[in-house]
Amino acid sequence: MASCAAADPLPRLKVSDNRRFLVTADGRPFFWLADTAWELFHRLDRSEAEQYLTDRAAKGFTVIQAVVLAELDGLTEPNRYGYVPLIDKNPRRPAVRPAVGNDWVLVLDDAQAGFAAPGTAAGNRQQ
C-alpha cells in the first residue's frame, strides 16, 4: 500500500492488537472500501485518472487497487504515454522514466480517494 503527501495527511495504518483488523495509529478502525482499477496505470492518462479518482472519493472509497503490470497486453502494449513497463519483458529491467512513470497516480490518489494499493502484477504474471 502506498501513500504520498497531501494537504490532510492520511493516517498511518497498522494491524489491530488482536491481529484481525486494520486500525489507524491511534487505534480507530479503518474500513477498507476498495475499488479495483486493475489497469489504471496502463490504460488511463493523468486527466482520466484524476477524474476517476475524484469520482471514487466522492463515492466514499478509501482504497484503490491496481496492478503495475497490466494483465491484458501490459508487457507489450505501451501505456498512454508510449512506454512499456519492462525492458525486453524482463522484470529485472524496469523501464522507469520519472517524467512519465506511475508516481503521479499515487499522488492523485492520495489527494483524492485515500490509499493506493498497487500490486505488482495480475495472477498470471507472477511466477
Domains of the chain: 13-122 (3.20.20.80)
Handedness of CA 98, 99, 101, 106 (dihedral sign): positive
CB-based contact 57:114 (threshold 8 Å): yes
97 grid coordinates: 522514466
Closest CA to 110 of 70, 42, 66, 63: 63
Tens of pLDDT, residue by residue, the chain (127 residues): 444 334 456 788 999 999 999 999 999 999 999 999 888 888 888 889 888 988 998 999 988 888 878 887 888 998 888 888 888 988 888 886 644 455 555 655 555 556 777 676 655 554 4
Residue 117, C-alpha cell as written in the block: 494499493
pTM over 0.75: no
